[in-house]
Structure 1
Amino acid sequence: MSEYQSWGKRKGWEDVEPTRQDDGVDSCVVSIPYSAEFEDTMNYMRTMMKRDEHSLRALEITREAIELCPGNYTLWCYRRSILSSLSDSALFLEEFSLTEAFIEDHPKCYQVWSYRQWLVEATDDLSREVKLCDAAIESDSKNYHAWSYRQWLVTRLRIWREELEYLDEMLRRDHWNNSVWNMRYFVVKHLGPAADFVEREIDISVQYIQKDVDNESPWNYLNAMVRESDSEGAEKRFVEFCQQCIAAHLRSVHPRAALVRAYLCFARSGVRAGLEEARAAEVCLELSELDPIRRKYWLFCHRKIKSDSRSL
């Protein structure tokens, strides 16, 4: 690694005086131990921002400052302002490579994902984005920022059906990945699911629950799909499936939790779906023993069910 050279000693920076950080007091009780490189870079960075200079050298220093602190959103905003002012297509093209490198090195940094979205919208060039998302998710399949960006991208490209195929494959790889189930719900909601489509999604969630009844993700998805169906037949099928799972898995929490939540939800809509109040209340008591961390919550549900039944 080459030795760091202060910005004041670099060619083309002779006219720039550094602006030191103002901590508001003559001396700090506990000062932050910045590296010499970081302190020097930020001192010159402050001067450039005070000047509101939009130039190639301003672009240069923002890059080095961001490399030192990629989470500094102010630096990304300033860089965006510089690029917009310079309005050079070659610079925008280089920016795609730069942001890809930053995403590879800092995949959990939301600032770079936000900047990347601006870059795509500014150039109207989405040709690299699906591949970029695929790579980020392949590296970490539960990266919240990559999935959030993917939601924006799929909406922008309107590739709902293609995305559903991608999610089918992702579930085959790992049906415990809640990020995939969340994305699937996002896609299905935007497709405006018809009754037969919802039935297909219910079948898929049942299939994955049968693989492992203690996987909470498909239970949550199943619950959501039943609500989307707005069908008494789907609600009755759901209750029957929960009861079958409870009978087969005597100490499993998730089918019982799904049953209680379904009862409360269906009760609000005036539908009981064949589930008696006494059974729902009984399941709450079972959960208070099987799920001690949420014991008080299940006892609250028990009281609510009893209270609602008395008010009818």
Structure 2
Amino acid sequence: MARKYYHDDPKWSDVAPLPQEDYGHHPLAAIAYTEEYSEAMGYLRACMAANEHSERVLELTEHIIGLNPAHYTVWLYRAQTLSALNSDLRAEIAWLNPTALQHLKNYQIWHHRQTIIDKLGSPDGEPAFITAMLDQDSKNYHVWSYRQWLVKRFDMFDGRELKWTEGMIDDDVRNNSAWNHRWFLVFGGTVGEGEKVERDVVVRELEYAQDAIRKAPQNQSPWNYLRGVIRRSGLPLSALQHFALEFADPENRPDDDVFSSHALDLLADIYAAAGKTELAVKALDLLATRYDPIRKTYWEYRKGLLEAEGRKEETGAASAAAVETAAA
């Protein structure tokens, strides 16, 4: 691409570029900008100092964004100029689309897009574009965050959005971003933190997560989702014991008959809550030695807490017995 300069452009002959202030003749860590970029920024600083909002400023910001799409100040001044000129915001979105596809990880692009769509007051075309972005990177954090904003801004908590999310999970059951979005749709927007969750919603979400786990038992995302549904519904964790036993059973099956380390983790918590310390310790031992040894220190720590609690209870019982004996 040919370089673009402004010093010999008649359209910019009335502007004296402002150089960047580097605080002295020999700054300690001066950034080595290209000559093209430095000159373009000099003209933009002059425009900003004069509070100029014009079509040529939009052209200038487009050029600079092409050179450095991460410059937040340039995006901000472009948005201010669009507003001052009452520009066609749909045309801005049309320009923004290929720019976003070229710079998938750029946060500033998505902040700018949010500003424009918010002013337009309509999400038309956005779901399709987001799908195109996720086709390039299905776990792009900025895209998923923008999707959540879009859902909340335009109250898109509906069956169609839920169906789309199911499609994303069907494509990749390990896509934690899609699971997070489902949680947001089901519990994050329509149900307040302290509000009761309808029984049919709880049943539906439990069955959905369990079906996903059966497809990939070692996938952590639906196990986390399952725990979240139980916690959010107010049900005891033991409600999941029968399901977890499909994948591991430290009490009744051989130690090598385990299909999910996450099931063992869940069972350890269930057994501990029920006071079955020996079974809980066995589950944690299996995790530490065979099914998740990379986190051995963590499982040993969990086991240590259980054993310490057991010793504390034994000491308490012994003390109580001694008091009773002395009183007699």
3-state SS of paired residue (1:12): helix
Shift of 1:181: 0.8
Q: State the distance in 1 between where 2:270 and 2:117 align.
A: 42
From 103, 106, 110, the equivalent of 1:106 is: 103
Q: State the distance in 2 between where 1:101 and 1:24 align.
A: 37
- Residue 57 of structure 1 corresponds to 56
Q: State the distance in 2 between where 1:262 and 1:135 align.
A: 42
Q: State the distance in 2 between where 1:174 and 1:13 align.
A: 52
Which has the higher Rg, Structure 1 or Structure 2? 2
Shift of 1:263: 5.9
- The question of whether the paired residues in 2 share the 8 Å contact of 1:8 and 1:16 is answered with no
- The answer as to 2:218 corresponding to 1:217 is no
From 155, 168, 176, the equivalent of 2:152 is: 155
- Residue 203 of structure 1 corresponds to 207
* Count, aligned residues: 299
Q: State the distance in 2 between where 1:205 and 1:123 align.
A: 37
- The question of whether the paired residues in 1 share the 8 Å contact of 2:268 and 2:279 is answered with no
RMSD of the TM alignment (CA)?
2.2
Deviations for 1:70-92, whole angstroms, at most 9, x for unmatched residues? 1111111111111122223x3x2
3-state SS of paired residue (1:286): helix
Q: State the distance in 2 between where 1:305 and 1:199 align.
A: 32
Deviations for 1:96-126, whole angstroms, at most 9, x for unmatched residues? 1121121111121111111101101112132
Deviations for 1:239-283, whole angstroms, at most 9, x for unmatched residues? 22223311474374221223335567xx4xxxx3xx623222222
- Residue 240 of structure 1 corresponds to 242
CA shift in 2, pair 1:23/1:253, >3 Å: same
Q: TM-score, normalised by structure 2?
A: 0.83
Q: State the distance in 2 between where 1:159 and 1:263 align.
A: 40
In structure 2, stretches of 5+ residues that fail to align are 192-196, 317-328
Q: State the distance in 2 between where 1:35 and 1:125 align.
A: 39
Q: State the distance in 1 between where 2:4 and 2:181 align.
A: 47
Shift of 1:55: 1.8
- Residue 227 of structure 1 corresponds to 231
- Residue 39 of structure 1 corresponds to 38
- Residue 140 of structure 2 corresponds to 143
- Residue 181 of structure 2 corresponds to 183
Q: State the distance in 2 between where 1:308 and 1:49 align.
A: 65
Q: State the distance in 1 between where 2:198 and 2:262 align.
A: 27
- Residue 319 of structure 2 corresponds to none
From 79, 82, 91, the equivalent of 1:94 is: 91
Where in structure 2 are the equivalents of 1:245-260 lying within 5 Å?
245-247=247-249, 249-250=257-258, 252-260=260-268
Return 92-101 or 280-289, whichever deviates more: 280-289
Shift of 1:29: 5.8
Where in structure 2 are the equivalents of 1:66-105 lying within 5 Å?
66-88=65-87, 90=88, 92-105=89-102
- The question of whether the paired residues in 1 share the 8 Å contact of 2:134 and 2:143 is answered with yes
Determine what percentage of the aligned residue pairs are the same residue: 33
Which amino acid in the other structure matches residue 236 of structure 1?
A: S
- Residue 320 of structure 2 corresponds to none
- Residue 120 of structure 1 corresponds to 117
- Residue 171 of structure 1 corresponds to 169
CA shift in 2, pair 1:122/1:257, >3 Å: same
Give 1 or 2: higher helix fraction. Answer: 1
Which amino acid in the other structure matches residue 201 of structure 2?
A: F
Deviations for 1:167-191, whole angstroms, at most 9, x for unmatched residues? 2222222111111111111111034
3-state SS of paired residue (1:27): coil
Shift of 1:5: 3.7
3-state SS of paired residue (2:248): helix
CA shift in 2, pair 1:25/1:94, >3 Å: same
Q: TM-score, normalised by structure 1?
A: 0.87
